Amino acid sequence: MSERFFPDGMPQPLADQIHLPWWEAAAEHRLVVQRCTECGRTRIPPAPLCASCGSHDSDWQEVSGRGEVFTYTTVHRPIAADQEVPFVIAVIALEDSGGLRMISNLVDVAPEDVEIGMPVEVVWEDMSEDLAVPRFRPASP
Ligand SMILES: [Zn+2]
């Protein structure tokens, strides 16, 4: 199991038919984005059709998990029992993803040290045997 950043009582994601491949990749610690096989546009979160061309055909593109903080907020109220506060929710601009941004948590950094533009990298948190959640931490040089 990985290092833990959040308690077991955190709300768990629900994986439907559209999102399940994304969560299956995450369980293997692979960060993927959905890619339209018609026009090549990427998207996250997964969706049943391409917003650009309307195609239902897509595949999955693995990305590096590196990026930078686009914006963030510091949360001072827990949302689960035993959760430590404050914690940081950030929008991460993912490199090599076709310009996508995803929402996650920043870990291994004090909220007062977070800066917009800060380079970050994914770190996986195994919440259970088959559920891994991507968080981000300051990138190693
Ligand atoms: Zn498309």
Residue 68, pLDDT score: 98
| Residue 10: inside a domain | no
pTM above 0.85, yes or no: yes
Sheet arrangement for strand 42-43: 42-43, 32-36, 58-62
| Residue 113: inside a domain | yes
**Binning pLDDT at 50, 70 and 90, where does residue 140 land?**
confident
| Residue 11: inside a domain | no
Give first-to-last CA distance, the chain, whole Å. 25
| Residue 51: inside a domain | yes
State the DSSP code for 21. Answer: H
Cα 41 to middle of ligand 1, angstroms: 5
Q: What torsion do the CA atoms of 128, 7, 74, 136 make, to the nearest 10 degrees?
A: -30
Cα 63 to middle of ligand 1, angstroms: 19
Domain count, the chain: 1
CA distance 58 to 42: 9
Cα 5 to middle of ligand 1, angstroms: 36
Q: Which residue has the tokens 């029992």?
A: 81
| Residue 47: inside a domain | yes
Among left, alpha and beta (phi > 0; psi -120 to 50; other), residue 79 is: alpha
Cα 52 to middle of ligand 1, angstroms: 5
Using a CB cutoff of 5 Å, list residues around ligand 1, an ion. Answer: 36, 38-39, 41, 50, 52-53, 55
Q: What's the pLDDT tens digit per position in 33-54? A: 999 999 999 999 999 999 999 9
| Residue 80: inside a domain | yes
What are the backbone angles phi and psi of residue 60, rounded to the nearest 5°?
-120, 130
| Residue 90: inside a domain | yes
Q: Residue 1 above 80 pLDDT?
A: no
Domain that residue 83 falls in:
20-138
Nearest to 52 by CA among 4, 100, 13: 100
Cα 57 to middle of ligand 1, angstroms: 8
Q: What's the pLDDT tens digit per position in 64-76? A: 999 999 999 999 9
| Residue 35: inside a domain | yes
Nearest to 137 by CA among 125, 124, 123, 117: 123
Q: What's the pLDDT tens digit per position in 107-136? A: 999 999 999 999 999 999 999 888 999 999
